[in-house]
Amino acid sequence: MTTLTAPHVLSGSSAPPPGTVVVGIDGSVQSDRALDWAVLQARLEHRALTVVHAAHLSAAGETLWMGTPGTDLRAVVDDLRATGRSLLAAAEARAVRADPSLVVRSVLSTHDPRHALTALSGDADLTVVGSRGRGPVVSLLLGSVSVAVSRLATGTVVVVRGEERTRRPRCVVVDVDGTADSEAAVEVAYRIAAQRHLPLTALHVVDDDRFRRTGVHLVRDDDVADHRELLSESVAGMRERYPEVKDELVLERGVRDQQLIAASHRASLLVVAARRRGPVDDLVHDSVVTRVVEHAHCSVAVVAAGSPPG
């Protein structure tokens, strides 16, 4: 198990307050999109925004620089921190321009960005990252960071993808598997759909690989009726809590990650649950979540099981 220490706070007078919206930035276009998403979410929920940048030398980069004749490693670190402070100042200004009433804090961490964001996620309402970043400080928020944070964070993580910017908002899709682990994901999906005035699709995938390959049903129609009932029961409470959300219940046969990725074509946000049941189940489930985070055609929210409602 990886032990995460608290990020070093080099900018700002105190640690971020509980319930803040945390967003990781690295100066790339992708992190700007993540920042814009986080600003809107913080405004919709009347929360403070915490902007995080990691001025950290990767192990490979550190070895390379230390092995280069004439390289002053301390000067490199100082430059990284100076660049980080500049990026944070620019991000704060961008956030305030979008919403002058927003309370914005910044954190400049010396840890690996995966560790910094994961550590901060514990007290955050949600944590937002870009899908891939190649900003002025190369490789600080790459796609591997978004995957790592979505797997390790203790709260909700939103991975903002660029495809969302190229089209009008469509809907929120939530993966409903009928387990207690997905309850928090369903609640997050309905809450965001209500806040952003979007319709919602509750999708339940019946694991039927033979149907995908041959068109012959592995799961009997009688069993499918049970799945439909499970889907309806899973969202009943949310329909009462968020009556303003126009929702649709959809049942599909096939392979779960493939059906979720296909559904992301018509979505602005795809919401899935992360869960921790045991080594084997974690391996199978995490591989599904990882493939969805890496290949979805819209932004993805990964909700840890047991995440408190907003």
pTM over 0.85: no
CATH class of 21-160: alpha beta
- What whole-number distance in Å separates Cα of residue 187 and Cα of residue 296? 21
Specify the amino acid at residue 56: H
- What whole-number distance in Å separates Cα of residue 124 and Cα of residue 119? 10
254 beta partners: 207
Q: What is the pLDDT of residues 25-57, one digit of tens each?
A: 988 888 999 999 999 999 999 999 999 998 765
133 backbone dihedrals φ, ψ, rounded to 5°: -135, 135
Over 80: is that where the pLDDT of 216 sits?
Answer: no
- Topology (CATH) of 165-304: Rossmann fold (3.40.50)
Domain positions in the chain are 21-160, 165-304
Least Cα distance to 155 among 11, 296, 16, 10 occurs for 16
Q: The tokens of 37 are what?
A: 């998403």
Output the average pLDDT for the chain.
80
pLDDT band with cut points at 50, 70 and 90 for residue 134: very low
Percent residues over pLDDT 90 in the chain:
48
Q: 21-160 and 165-304: same fold?
A: yes
> Does residue 78 contact residue 98 with C-beta atoms inside 8 Å?
no
Q: The tokens of 25 are what?
A: 């930035």
Over 60: is that where the pLDDT of 280 sits?
Answer: no
- What whole-number distance in Å separates Cα of residue 296 and Cα of residue 292? 5
Q: Classify the C-alpha dihedral 126-6-131-24 as positive or negative.
A: positive
